[in-house]
């Protein structure tokens, strides 16, 4: 076995054979048995798909909430939503997008791809994996149950209305009577437990389950970045879990952690929340980088430029991001040393991210670029990520931040990151790996429609959104006076939002349509190089019939080009 490289043919030949057909005809039992098989599964691929499906459902829900917000703000003195409903909508939009869309969809891809890419048969702890998923799913349902069961300010059927950062002392019993805040806190707590479980699992998988020959410097960049992201989850999501416990102690046991009337500190909550909140951005964006690291080389037909620098930069981003949290708190008031420290540490982040950006550009440079949908989204990501980074540097300067804090400029900045970078790369990843997961290609024509509408809608919304911010429009207001000069800007922002909504509906249609009618993908539709493309699409339960063995970073390149293998250069 020593001189055999990959289990060649296993995927390639089985592509049109029995293994591809296996999953699609797996309804050989009743529907009940099918549902049962998904509920009890510990297979990383099924759990990954469940994570992604769960996140996509919540993406639609939170997207609908965003639409309601935009309808309310489309003109001054609008009364489409009451102020109370408006508060609930932006709270639920933010909380859902971060905890029930962003984290689960990225964990879903991690679950699905990490074992395949490192040539393993499953995660290190399959049952922990299932546990983490179901705890997270429970958290999402619990949060949304508050719409029915939460007793808020205005009777039964309410939702949290404390904003996604839930500043104290608004969350205390005195100011948030009823149970909606409890639903929020317990949902975040449960979600945190699920996230920590998955993070432990991913770290253990990446370091302990690699196939033969896959040294640390040969792991594809995606598992590397997922390991970094998981480390961040361990040290950043845990504090959030801890401060939800404190909040619950305050609310249920009469504690005073954040109870300002009894000497508790609202600022402490802000620190604790942002100690989580800022690394959280990197928890979300590192997987987006990971997708770009896999997609851009394949569609540029070149190996990734500067692999070691990419690894170092990713780990560097992880570490630096732990020391920047108070840039969310400049207006709370700090010493000049504090202001200078957090300004400089925040600017420091731009060094490793700059390294990554230039490495992606260098990867594309001189490549034979194929502009298929995944690559289109990746190019848009590069462009938007740079702009998001630039407004980020603007906001990191404390003096500038004092002017613009909590304005729509900030909202535009972080939506540039969260939508322009992360959501775009999630779409790229779905177009790229959907064939692997289902065995069918997504429709390319619908994909182009989706991309162009999305990119136009995105820029109409979020480019424009910077300006009401510069003109002084604060975030989280339910309406505004007509004489502020924000009217037409807000109208344009809302119109852009609807364009994005149409794009996403096209995408959802594409997902469903292609599942039944899509072209057969075969095991390796993109002519890619990492191990997940060495097996059938969708992969069999055991992933690889023979455990693969690798000798370079691009094992499939070695197999396809025996005359010029990568392994000769390592």
Partner 1 sequence: MATVPLQHGNRDTEWKLPARGTVAMASLITAESSIFTIFVVAYLYYLGTDVQGPHPKDVLEVPWFYSACLLSSSFFIWLAEHAIDRAKMAAFRLWWAVTILLGLIFLYGTAVEWHKLIVEDHLTISTNLFGTTYYSLVGLHASHVVVGLLMMLFVMIFSLMGAVGPQHAYRVKTLALYWHFVDAVWVVVFTVVYVVGR
* Chain positions contacting partner 1, by CB under 8 A: 2-6, 8-9, 12, 124-125, 196, 199-201, 203-205, 207-210, 212-213, 230-231, 234-239, 241-243, 245-246, 249-250, 253-257, 262-265, 268, 272, 275, 549, 551, 558-560, 562, 565, 567
Question: Smallest distance, Å, CB 107 to partner 1?
Answer: 15
* CB nearer partner 1, residue 198 or residue 514: 198
SS3 476: coil
* CB nearer partner 1, residue 245 or residue 397: 245
| Joined tokens for residue 275 | 């100690």
* CB nearer partner 1, residue 193 or residue 453: 193
Question: Smallest distance, Å, CB 194 to partner 1?
Answer: 12
Q: Say which residues have a Cβ less than 8 Å from residue 319's Cβ, sequence separation at least 6.
A: none
Question: Smallest distance, Å, CB 334 to partner 1?
Answer: 15
* CB nearer partner 1, residue 280 or residue 549: 549
Question: Smallest distance, Å, CB 481 to partner 1?
Answer: 41
Please report which helix (H) or strand (E) contains residue 90, including its range: helix 83-95
Question: Smallest distance, Å, CB 219 to partner 1?
Answer: 12
* CB nearer partner 1, residue 315 or residue 394: 315
* CB nearer partner 1, residue 60 or residue 245: 245
Please give the distance of CA 523 from its chain centroid, rounded to a whole number. 26
Question: Smallest distance, Å, CB 90 to partner 1?
Answer: 27
Q: Is the peptide bond preceding residue 133 cis, with omega within 30 degrees of 0?
A: no
Question: Smallest distance, Å, CB 139 to partner 1?
Answer: 17
* CB nearer partner 1, residue 40 or residue 253: 253
Question: Smallest distance, Å, CB 525 to partner 1?
Answer: 15
* CB nearer partner 1, residue 155 or residue 263: 263
CA distance 327 to 414: 13
CB count in 10 Å sphere of residue 457: 21
Q: Say which residues have a Cβ less than 8 Å from residue 12's Cβ, sequence separation at least 6.
A: 523, 524
Q: Where are the alpha helices (DSSP H) in 180-265?
A: 180-208, 221-232, 238-253
* CB nearer partner 1, residue 255 or residue 474: 255
67 class by beta-carbon count within 10 Å (0-12 exposed, 13-18 middle, 19+ buried): middle
CA distance 173 to 252: 9
CB count in 10 Å sphere of residue 96: 23
Question: Smallest distance, Å, CB 258 to partner 1?
Answer: 10
CA distance 450 to 492: 20
SS3 89: helix
| Joined tokens for residue 478 | 């339910």
CB count in 10 Å sphere of residue 241: 17
Cα dist from 37 to 50, 434, 543, 568, whole Å: 12, 21, 18, 45
Closest by Cα among 241, 254, 84, 243 to 173:
254
SS3 156: strand
């Amino acid at each position: 076995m020593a001189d055999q490289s990959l289990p060649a043919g296993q995927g390639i030949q089985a592509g049109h054979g029995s293994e591809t057909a296996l999953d699609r005809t797996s309804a050989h039992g009743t529907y009940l048995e099918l549902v049962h098989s998904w509920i009890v599964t510990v297979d990383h691929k099924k759990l990954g798909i469940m994570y992604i499906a769960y996140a996509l459902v919540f993406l639609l829900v939170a997207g609908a909430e965003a639409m309601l917000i935009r309808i309310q703000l489309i003109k001054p003195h609008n009364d489409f939503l009451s102020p109370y409903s408006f508060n609930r909508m932006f709270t639920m939009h933010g909380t859902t997008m971060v905890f029930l869309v962003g984290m689960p969809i990225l964990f879903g891809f991690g679950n699905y791809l990490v074992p395949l890419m490192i040539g393993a048969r499953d995660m290190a702890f399959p049952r922990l994996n299932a546990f983490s998923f179901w705890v997270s799913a429970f958290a999402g349902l619990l949060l949304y149950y508050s719409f029915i069961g939460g007793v808020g300010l205005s009777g039964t059927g309410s939702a949290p209305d404390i904003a996604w950062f839930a500043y104290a002392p608004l969350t205390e019993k005195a100011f948030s009577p009823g149970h909606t805040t409890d639903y929020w806190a317990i949902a975040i707590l449960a979600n945190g437990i699920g996230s920590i479980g998955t993070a432990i699992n991913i770290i253990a998988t990446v370091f302990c389950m690699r196939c033969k020959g896959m040294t640390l410097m040969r792991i594809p960049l995606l598992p590397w970045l997922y390991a970094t992201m998981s480390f961040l989850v361990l040290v950043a999501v845990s504090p959030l879990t801890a401060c939800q416990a404190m909040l619950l102690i305050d609310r249920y046991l009469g504690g005073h952690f954040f109870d300002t009337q009894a000497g508790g500190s609202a600022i402490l909550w802000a620190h604790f929340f942002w100690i989580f909140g800022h690394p959280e951005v990197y928890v979300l964006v590192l997987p987006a980088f990971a997708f770009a690291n896999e997609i851009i080389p394949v569609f540029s037909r070149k190996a990734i430029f500067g692999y070691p620098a990419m690894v170092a930069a990713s780990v560097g981003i992880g570490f630096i991001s732990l020391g920047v949290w108070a840039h969310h708190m400049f207006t709370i008031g700090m010493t000049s040393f504090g202001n200078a420290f957090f300004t400089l540490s925040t600017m420091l982040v731009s060094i490793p991210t700059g390294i990554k950006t230039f490495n992606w550009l260098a990867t594309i440079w001189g490549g034979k670029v194929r502009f298929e949908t995944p690559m289109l989204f990746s190019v848009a990501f590069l462009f938007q990520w740079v702009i998001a980074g630039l407004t980020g540097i603007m906001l990191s300067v404390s003096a500038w931040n004092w002017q613009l804090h909590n304005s729509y400029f900030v909202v535009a900045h972080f939506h540039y990151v969260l939508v322009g970078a992360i959501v775009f790369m999630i779409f790229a990843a779905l177009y790229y790996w959907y064939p692997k997961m289902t065995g069918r290609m997504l429709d390319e024509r619908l994909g182009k429609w989706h991309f162009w509408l999305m990119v136009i809608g995105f820029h109409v919304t979020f480019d424009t959104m910077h300006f009401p911010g510069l003109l002084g429009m604060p975030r989280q207001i339910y309406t505004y006076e007509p004489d502020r000069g924000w009217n037409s800007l807000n109208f344009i922002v809302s119109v852009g939002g609807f364009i994005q909504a149409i794009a996403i509906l096209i995408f959802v249609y594409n997902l469903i349509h292609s599942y039944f009618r899509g072209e057969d993908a075969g095991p390796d539709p993109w002519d890619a190089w990492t191990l997940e493309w060495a097996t059938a699409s969708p992969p069999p339960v055991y992933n690889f019939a023979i455990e693969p063995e690798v000798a370079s970073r691009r094992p499939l390149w070695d197999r396809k080009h025996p005359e010029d293998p990568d392994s000769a250069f390592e």
